[in-house]
Structure 1
Amino acid sequence: MRVAGLASVACAALILGAAPPATASATAAPIKVGDVQKAMEDLVKTGHIVGAIGAVYVDGKQVGKGSAGSRLLDGKGGAIPATARYRIGSQTKSMTATAVLQLVEDGKLSLDDKLSKLLPEVAEKDLVERADEITVRNLLQLTSGIPDYVGPDTSDPDRNYRPIDLVAAARKKARPVDVGTFNYSNTNYILLGMIIEKLTGRSLAAEFDRRFFSPLGMRHTYLPTKSSEGIKGPHGHGYAPDESGTMRDADHINASTLLGAGGVVSTTHDISAFQRAFRQGKLIPASLMKVITDPAPGQSPPPAGGPCGGKPEFAAGGGGSAPGFTAATLTSSDGRVQFAVSVTLAMDNAERGTVSTRITNTLKSLFCPTA
């Protein structure tokens, strides 16, 4: 998935691996996890990676962590704290979707409600084509056919864009597919954020805090919404090439263009807490989880079992990426195990496409049995 230029990393893995043994619940089989510090060091060695942090959690307890590389390019700035905050990118969408589905569970809206009913202004002002046909389900499953807002009209690094500005930018583009056909567009999740705000009377940032961050102990997680808001505290900086090919610090991203599509800043501990609660059915019931965990119409299901094969199986992982960073969280289907990783980069767009494979190889080194 991509969010405001963010492309997702889809990873799956099987948890069986090397020592030391992980903490297990009283009734569950113990799980072995490899050396996370070594895994991060090996990941950085694959090239054009500035720094990497990662951690593994089993039954809510950290069983391994690591930090390799540096905060800044060329070994400068010291090591990235293993507890540092980082952008989770498109993983934010799972939070937006979960908040919407909680509203569905509470009877505040229906999956079949039309966009024109929930946000009449987008129909009245012709900001969304065919708003009277598009449902909440279409938005959640990326089958609305609404174009993506990402582009020149939303590229000012210092402007504070309103959600409606992003929707208006998308309207200038041609519809890529018909309603009901899958097409990745971040505009869907900007609109879902607007629906959440309208139905609750609170900002999306406040709703995330009320529904997820505070109850789940995600004390270092927040949703920035202004162009000037960045990552709090020491953290890794990513880099991207300018027109001349020179690597430039890409740490500043306009948060007002991300919002519910990809704006959350978190830590390995906090994003793991969210994924654990989600997979264990503590946020929404299984019947509603299927709306976002099952493949959208026309999409193939992810491979089962992960790179190692066998059991326990891991759900297809989610991630987010932009020039300068990639982040991913892998969670077992039963929610017992999470592997969260953040990687800061110094590579062009073409090479960024290889990062998902590198993360998958890292997962294998941690969780797959050796021959």
Structure 2
Amino acid sequence: MNEYVPQSRSRHGRRWVATTVAAGVVAAGVLAPTVAFAGGRPDSVQSSLNALVKEDGLPAALAAVKGRDGRTRTYTAGVGDLATGARVPMDGQIRIGSNTKTFTAVVVLQLVAEGKVGLDSPVESYLPGLVRGDGIDGRHITVRQLLQHTSGLPEYVDKDAILTDPTRYYEPRELLDTALGQKAHFAPGTSWEYNNTNYLLAGLIIQKVTGRPLGEEIGRRIVDRIGLRHTYVPAPGDMGIREAHPKGYNRGADGSLRDYTELDPSWGWAAGAAVSTPSDVTRFFTALLGGRLLPAAQLAQMRTTVAADAIAPGARYGLGLVSRPLSCGGVAWGHGGTIPGYDTAGGATDDGRAVSLAVTMIPGGETGQHVEAAVDAALCR
């Protein structure tokens, strides 16, 4: 789904559950063996995943890494099903949360390239009379401000309601009404604050302009175009994950783990409902940076950023695309996503390196930092 947010520590993107799994959870022989390269050097990616399971207590971790040689390698560690002890499917499907925002942004920018949407046109041009509230006026919020989180719109996500009733279906207009019932956080264009309402409206614009469901447009314009064989936006009522997947968990207030694999992602919709695999996610971001999804002018707009230190030190937010500095120099472009049961992090570089790493519980505190460090290490090795 979307997660509640991207890989961020911000008020709107924070990891909101602590994660400590009893050591017995990983005692069923589920750590993948450490792979060694020629000369006996251990594979650092596999070692990182093993540590996330064994030391940080996450049920499972899986990753796809495209290296400097152009090859994509997949990795797993941990337990795919805590009840049965089943192994983690290699390159299994997961809910990718707010990575969905990048897909949505790409479709909007394709419509910009086609002359059907104006980046600096007001939302009112496409959704007349819809966006009104306390300090909120669609006549003064642009499409660019939606994609860049500079609109000042308030958040619609109620994480407690979602955790309490994860199979409930939400209509986009119902979610929008929740946001519009609040006061604007700031005047459009005067600040930056991550929230899902921006992408809810972006999805509604796509549907209004194309006359087609959002999932169909993402499928036609992105998934089919670059051959993402395991990526889709769930249809209304689709609460499962279609292909082989690890189960996703969340720790409750009483310390128990609850299986959130079956979940209605309608509340995430254009902001975070998509399902994919680590290898498909790396393929998507590599294709995007390589110019296969957008003309040069629109890709340049997507990569025009504003400071977003609330996500991570040095992070910057473009149009549905985040840049983060790497310890080895340069930056990685990607997004990340969190949704009950799953957390994804990753990115791609301009020279073709890419990584997507997923864990099957939302990590908090130091564990979240370890996930981000594993991504950095994979890109810098």
Given the two structures, how large is their TM-score scaled by the length of structure 1? 0.82
| 1:246 pairs with 2:256 | yes
Assess if the C-alpha contact under 8 Å between 1:318 and 1:328 holds in 2: yes
| 1:109 pairs with 2:122 | no
1:1-150 paired onto structure 2 within 5 Å: 3-8=2-7, 19=37, 34-58=43-67, 62-73=71-82, 76-123=84-131, 129-150=136-157
Which runs of no fewer than 5 residues in structure 1 stay unpaired?
11-17, 22-31
- Residue 373 of structure 2 corresponds to which residue in structure 1? 361
C-alpha distance in 1, partners of 2:135/2:186? Answer: 14
Q: CA deviation at 1:298?
A: 7.7
Letter in structure 2 aligned against 1:344: T
Q: Which moved more, 1:246-255 or 1:90-99?
A: 246-255
- Residue 173 of structure 1 corresponds to which residue in structure 2? 182
Assess if the C-alpha contact under 8 Å between 1:141 and 1:291 holds in 2: no
Change (3 A) 1:368 1:288: closer
Change (3 A) 1:197 1:305: closer
| 1:308 pairs with 2:327 | yes
- Residue 329 of structure 1 corresponds to which residue in structure 2? 346
Listed one character per residue, the Cα deviations across residues 230-251 of structure 1 (whole Å, up to 9, x for unaligned) are: 2123312222232423221122
Which runs of no fewer than 5 residues in structure 2 stay unpaired?
10-35, 317-322
Listed one character per residue, the Cα deviations across residues 254-278 of structure 1 (whole Å, up to 9, x for unaligned) are: 2111111011100122111111111
Q: CA deviation at 1:20?
A: 6.2
C-alpha distance in 2, partners of 1:33/1:206? Answer: 43
Identity %: 33
- Residue 266 of structure 1 corresponds to which residue in structure 2? 276
Secondary structure, in 3 states, of the residue corresponding to 1:288?
helix
| 1:233 pairs with 2:239 | no
Q: Which moved more, 1:209-218 or 1:287-296?
A: 287-296
Q: CA RMSD in A?
A: 3.1
C-alpha distance in 2, partners of 1:36/1:158? Answer: 35
Secondary structure, in 3 states, of the residue corresponding to 2:306?
coil
Secondary structure, in 3 states, of the residue corresponding to 1:49?
coil
Assess if the C-alpha contact under 8 Å between 2:133 and 2:182 holds in 1: no
C-alpha distance in 1, partners of 2:69/2:347? Answer: 14
Listed one character per residue, the Cα deviations across residues 293-338 of structure 1 (whole Å, up to 9, x for unaligned) are: 332378685399844324xx3424421113432112220123x111
Letter in structure 2 aligned against 1:260: A
| 1:318 pairs with 2:335 | yes
Assess if the C-alpha contact under 8 Å between 1:36 and 1:65 holds in 2: no
Given the two structures, how large is their TM-score scaled by the length of structure 2? 0.80
- Residue 14 of structure 1 corresponds to which residue in structure 2? none
Listed one character per residue, the Cα deviations across residues 60-102 of structure 1 (whole Å, up to 9, x for unaligned) are: 954422111011237x331111121011111111111111011
Secondary structure, in 3 states, of the residue corresponding to 1:98?
helix
Q: CA deviation at 1:208?
A: 0.6
Letter in structure 2 aligned against 1:308: S
Aligned length: 342
| 1:344 pairs with 2:352 | no
Letter in structure 2 aligned against 1:271: V
Letter in structure 2 aligned against 1:73: L
C-alpha distance in 2, partners of 1:243/1:263? Answer: 25
Q: Which moved more, 1:317-326 or 1:194-203?
A: 317-326
C-alpha distance in 1, partners of 2:46/2:160? Answer: 42
C-alpha distance in 2, partners of 1:148/1:285? Answer: 31
Listed one character per residue, the Cα deviations across residues 29-78 of structure 1 (whole Å, up to 9, x for unaligned) are: xxx9945433322332232200011121247954422111011237x331
Secondary structure, in 3 states, of the residue corresponding to 2:130?
helix
C-alpha distance in 1, partners of 2:270/2:299? Answer: 18
Letter in structure 2 aligned against 1:133: H
Secondary structure, in 3 states, of the residue corresponding to 1:69?
strand
Assess if the C-alpha contact under 8 Å between 1:20 and 1:34 holds in 2: no
C-alpha distance in 2, partners of 1:131/1:151? Answer: 23
Letter in structure 2 aligned against 1:79: R
Q: CA deviation at 1:193?
A: 0.6
| 1:203 pairs with 2:188 | no
Change (3 A) 1:318 1:7: closer
